[in-house]
Structure 1
């Protein structure tokens, strides 16, 4: 609308200028005319109107630029206002996503706690298995030591039995030898004297 007004003012200014020029030409042709003073006054008024029109035109241009800037700001504000519902929808979606993310974090934390418990149980079972294995190895070691010690005792006992049997046999041989010698002496004494001294030798064995 302001642009149309501006165009009309420019058209009026051009028409007035052209009319005044035509009138000036005709006035020059009629060197003497009774309307010369009136035309001069009219011409001066037209110039004043033209200057006033130019002033109004400049003000209209400035006003148009001002309202154009305001219109652009208003259009930009309107565009931003139109984006508000979408922004609110995005914000609501983001809020829902944050709530879901918080729930996921809580679920993940619970899973981590369960995993920690499982790790502790696995560590306990591993420790039990290690202790059981150590106990079995200890039992095997002690069993081998016991078997070795038993074998050593058996060998020592067998050796002691052999030694005892050998000692007993030696004593028996010595006793037998003693009796044989005593018998031989008795026989020799008996043959020489006809008398035996058996009671004197009974206390030695």
Structure 2
């Protein structure tokens, strides 16, 4: 629409310019023909005007010539002619032309301004049209966008659900990690406890061995002291025996020795009164030696007691019997070979038995020694800890179980 209006204005301006150009040309022709027509005859025609004034002037001129009397010429111009009428008309035409020319220029400027405004409006309209087109295309894409948003919403919901599930799984993983750490800590503590227990057992075993070695050394020292004391006593007894023999040879009888009841009995000096060491001179008659002989005579263990019967029943009813004490390293030495041979041995710990001393005295009467361990196989005494170890190393112990 604005394009058509612009074209019409441009065509109107062009037509106005063409009209103004034609008016200028006619004015110039009229001026040039007026100067030449004043000297010519009256029969010639007057210059024509673009507005048809020649016809009016010729009609008025003919009427004036027909009505009036014969006229006179002044300077070759009839007196009834108004020579200035053409100038006024020309001036009027010039003024009109100037007004028209100014209006045309003003119209041209306004048309240029309007064309500029039209161009701006056209550009704005083009921008608006482009924006409207983009808006239309965007509006056309709204259903697809809504579908995509719904799909995105579903994806977000699924992601939220997966996030919750992941959080739950992470909590389970954390609990599992804590349980694993706790298990590792428990295992580490158990390992440390087992190491500590093993170390303490090793220390206890070393202490037992030290105590056993000290005890064995003390026993050996005590036995040496007893042996020395017995040798001293033997020398005293030998002297007394020789004196008694001399007295017997001289008088034929022995003088009875009177003993004081408040005096210290010789048996009170012995460490083990129930099982004293055997006297090295078995051929001596203790009845003839009086008080000294009665002190040196070994007491006899009663084998009819319940302890003796217990020992006898235990030895006969079990294939392997070990009489031991829990703290003795030699007892541990005696038990180890049977454990390696997978042989079940009947073990009696004397230190935990209230009748341990009596049982040990019975064992001393049977085996000839009160020391432990005392090992019996098939009702027969085979030895102590060192003996069992030596038999295991030589293979003699395995023969009992083939």
TM-score, reference length from structure 1: 0.76
Superposed CA offset, 1:16-60 (max 9, x none): 222332233223323344257499287467447625743355335
Counterpart of 1:122 (choices 174, 177, 180) is 180
| 2-structure distance, mates of 1:136, 1:162 | 37
2:201 aligned with 1:158: no
Residues 26-175 of structure 1 aligned to structure 2 (within 5 Å): 26-30=26-30, 31=34, 32-33=47-48, 34=53, 37=89, 40=93, 43=97, 46-47=100-101, 50=104, 53-54=107-108, 55=110, 58-59=113-114, 61-83=116-138, 85=141, 88=145, 95-96=153-154, 98-175=156-233
CA distance in 2, matches of 1:15, 1:147: 138
The structure, 1 or 2, with the larger RCO (C-alpha pairs under 8 Å, 6+ apart) is 1
Matched-pair contact (CA < 8 Å) for 1:9–1:57 = no
Query: Hey, what's the Cα distance between the residues in 2 that align with 1:52 and 1:179?
Result: 177
Number of equivalences: 205
Q: CA deviation at 1:156?
A: 2.7
**Equivalent residue for 1:21?**
21
Contact 1:6 1:57 in 2 (8 A): no
Cα RMSD of the aligned pairs, angstroms, is 3.4
Residue 195 of structure 1 and its aligned partner are, at CA, apart by 4.9
Greater Rg by CA: 2
Gaps of 5+ in 1: none
Deviations 1:74-94 (A, max 9, x none): 422431452353693565565
2:238 alignment partner in structure 1:
180
Q: Aligned partners of 2:223, 2:173: CA distance in 1, in Å?
A: 73
Moved more, 47-56 or 183-192: 47-56
Cα distance in 1 for residues equivalent to 2:135 and 2:237: 142
TM-score, normalization: structure 2? 0.43
8 Å contact from structure 2 (residues 247, 253) kept in 1 = yes
Bigger fraction of residues in strand: 2
Contact 2:6 2:115 in 1 (8 A): yes
